[in-house]
Structure 1
Amino acid sequence: MPQFDVAGATLTYDDEGPRDAPEVPLVFVHGWTANRHRWDHQTAHFSERRRVIRLDLRGHGESSGAGVRTIAELAYDVLALLDHLQVERFALVGHSMGGMIAQTIALAHPARVERLVLVGSIARMAYSRGRGLLMAASTLVPFRLFVAANIRRAFAPGHPREEIRAHIRASAGTPREVVMTLYGAMRAFDVLDRAGEIRTPTLMVHGYHDVQLPVRQMLRMARVWPDAVVRILDAGHELPLERPAELTDALDRFLTEARPLLTENN
């Protein structure tokens, strides 16, 4: 597996699919305490016909490094990797915190982002009361219990328990410093007042049962976002794991059928 060094971190990434595909590369960015394998279903599907790039953010999965304090610094890492791979223009997909990174990139470098997809993400962090209480209690309970509680409530009721346990084990490997520092970074994230600046054709996919970042917060963002396409799925916050095929289908439709309509309107 290839790796890339940037600003004190070593990023592990995958770069798959044909380099000569006519479409721009598709870049996937995972969320808080997750890793690049959140996108296994989408990578297997899209890499058959286009270049697909995904990475473990610093301190996550198989990437090393810590010390990052803001979403903008994580966005810098992603762009540094794409520059290293000589990818100038791309379609960008981000889940949860990854969607915040994607918005940051789209605002700072609009010419580089051809299509933008936000999966279970919002433009202004506003935790539910339950999530706020959980975060407040994070210093009072063992770290593993804190991580487990966050992962469990990310899934809609009825999701297989063994799958949830597997993702708890994977997330527990994220260092405490990274988890808590990036919680602060997400809490400080707020680009809602700039949402109207993003003219990139955008798809927002959200779970109806999402209690981590409730759907009403996404709809608040969508109201001020030009040309946004909204899809609501019967799922919780972990759409790439709960509804992988439905999410892939939503991406496929947007990346193909949406292009002529949005180009005509621009």
Structure 2
Amino acid sequence: MAVRTVSLPTATLSVTEAGEGAPLVFLHAFPLSARMWARQLAALPPGWRGVAPDLRGFGASTGASARSVGEHADDVLALIASLGTGPVVLAGLSMGGYIAFECWRRRPAAIRGLVLADTRAEADTDEARARRVAMQARARTEGTGAVIDAMLPGLLGATTQTSDPHVAHEVRAWALETPGEAVADALEALRTRPDSRPTLSTITVPTLVIVGVEDTLTPPTAARLIADGVVGASLVEVPGAGHLSNVEQPSAFDTALHRWLATL
């Protein structure tokens, strides 16, 4: 794996890459970084080039943090254009999925396939928006540590919390690389994201939907709604995984991903 920087008009993104061939761009969850995709980058099938950016404001990327999924999508589309390879497979988990939906709405010609993992098409409810506002205040006053400590029980499934407690320490360390103000700005992007349900019927590229069976934040019912709305979409439920299915059960996640990639 190699890490490089990509200069965009709005930011300088830190990008981790591995492999050679057709590009597969991974978009990370909130409030983490490209580190969450390390196992997938290390296990890419032959013929694929994994590209995992730290989204603006996260990890080692620099520049004013983004406050909308549209700003993040513009960065991702600029990154895709910089690869010079034509359309890519775009894989997003949780927040990464919200950004992937927005990338499709803005430039479908840039995408040849979608992987939507542990995410949802619906916008936030009023109750969820209120929780985001409270968490923004906490991020600004108490920092990222307080936010991730409050989130960790929901990010990981019951199996992981019981059998692999080290995963929580790993996830917390990734999150702590992001400043509190950037976390607050990202929460604004999550809070104001559009409803992607009308987008589902417009998706015409091969699509894989993955969800942890134990995901309580974006549960299997949310994944099924996406899969039912995208013509021809495949749905895989990962046993023993919660919201971070690729981190909690990487072998099962990779098996599903690789089998789907082989069909493209």
Give the TM bin, normalised by the shorter chain: 0.7 to 0.9
- Give ranges in structure 1 of 5+ residues lacking alignment: 260-266
User: Does the aligned pair in 1 maintain the 2:101–2:199 contact within 8 Å?
Assistant: no
Aligned to 2:168: 164
Q: 1:4 to 1:145 in 2, by over 3 A?
A: same
Aligned to 1:142: 142
In structure 2, the residue corresponding to 1:223 is in which secondary structure?
helix
Letter in 1 for 2:113: R
Letter in 2 for 1:185: A
Q: What CA deviation, in whole Å up to 9, does each residue of 1:103-153 have, x standing for no partner?
A: 212222222211110011111234697x67754543368332222121232
Q: Which moved more, 1:39-48 or 1:229-238?
A: 39-48
Q: 1:63 to 1:136 in 2, by over 3 A?
A: closer
Aligned to 2:98: 100
Deviation at residue 172 of structure 1 after TM alignment: 2.1
Letter in 2 for 1:53: V
Divergent runs of 4+, >6 A: none
2:261 matches 1:255: yes
Q: Which moved more, 1:5-14 or 1:245-254?
A: 5-14
Percent identity for Structure 1 against Structure 2:
28
Q: Which moved more, 1:246-255 or 1:87-96?
A: 87-96
Out of 71, 74, 78, which is 2:69 matched to? 71
In structure 1, the residue corresponding to 2:48 is in which secondary structure?
coil
Out of 216, 225, 229, which is 2:221 matched to? 216
Aligned to 1:264: none
Aligned to 2:249: 243
Q: Normalising by the residue count of structure 1, what TM-score does the alignment of the two structures yield?
A: 0.87
Q: Which moved more, 1:151-160 or 1:190-199?
A: 151-160
Deviation at residue 37 of structure 1 after TM alignment: 1.7
Aligned to 2:234: 229
- Give ranges in structure 2 of 5+ residues lacking alignment: none
Q: 1:74 to 1:82 in 2, by over 3 A?
A: same
Q: 1:132 to 1:85 in 2, by over 3 A?
A: closer
Distance in 2 (alpha carbons) for counterparts of 1:111 and 1:4: 22
Q: Normalising by the residue count of structure 2, what TM-score does the alignment of the two structures yield?
A: 0.87
Letter in 1 for 2:230: W
In structure 2, the residue corresponding to 1:111 is in which secondary structure?
helix
**Pairing 1:1-266 to 2, within 5 Å after superposition:** 1-18=3-20, 21=21, 24-46=22-44, 48-126=46-124, 135=132, 137-138=134-135, 139=137, 142-143=142-143, 144-159=145-160, 160-189=164-193, 190-234=195-239, 235-257=241-263, 259=264
Q: Which moved more, 1:46-55 or 1:114-123?
A: 46-55
Letter in 2 for 1:199: T
User: Does the aligned pair in 1 maintain the 2:80–2:88 contact within 8 Å?
Assistant: no
Q: What CA deviation, in whole Å up to 9, does each residue of 1:20-43 have, x standing for no partner?
A: x4xx31111111111112111211
Q: Which moved more, 1:79-88 or 1:223-232?
A: 79-88
Aligned residues: 253
Deviation at residue 48 of structure 1 after TM alignment: 4.4
User: Does the aligned pair in 2 maintain the 1:34–1:171 contact within 8 Å?
Assistant: yes
Q: 1:180 to 1:64 in 2, by over 3 A?
A: same
RMSD of aligned Cα (Å): 2.2
